[in-house]
Amino acid sequence: MIKTRRFIFLALIIIAWLNPAALNSAQPLPDGFVYLDKAIPGIKLEMRYYSENNFTGKRVDGYLKPRCIISEPAAGALKNVQNDLAAFGLELKIFDAYRPQMAVDSFVRWAADLGDVKMKKQYYPDVDKADLFKEKYIAEKSSHTRGSTVDLTIIISDTGKELDMGSTFDFFGPVSWPDSRLAPADKRANRLLLRTLMIKYGFIPYAQEWWHFTLGNEPYPDSYFNFPVQ
Cα–Cα distance measured from residue 205 to residue 189, given in angstroms and rounded to the nearest whole number: 15
In terms of Cα–Cα distance, which of 28, 36, 37 is closest to 98? 36
Alpha-carbon torsion (181, 187, 189, 194), positive or negative: negative
135 is catalytic: no
Distance of alpha carbon 149 from the chain centroid: 8
Cα 131 to the center of its chain, rounded Å: 22
Distance from C-alpha of 131 to C-alpha of 137, rounded to nearest angstrom = 9
Catalytic-labelled residue, pool 72, 91, 140, 209: 209
Provide the CA 98 distance to its chain's centre, in angstroms: 6
Say how many C-beta atoms besides its own lie within 10 A of residue 175's C-beta. Answer: 17
CA distance 188 to 130: 29
- Among all residues, which ones are annotated catalytic? 209
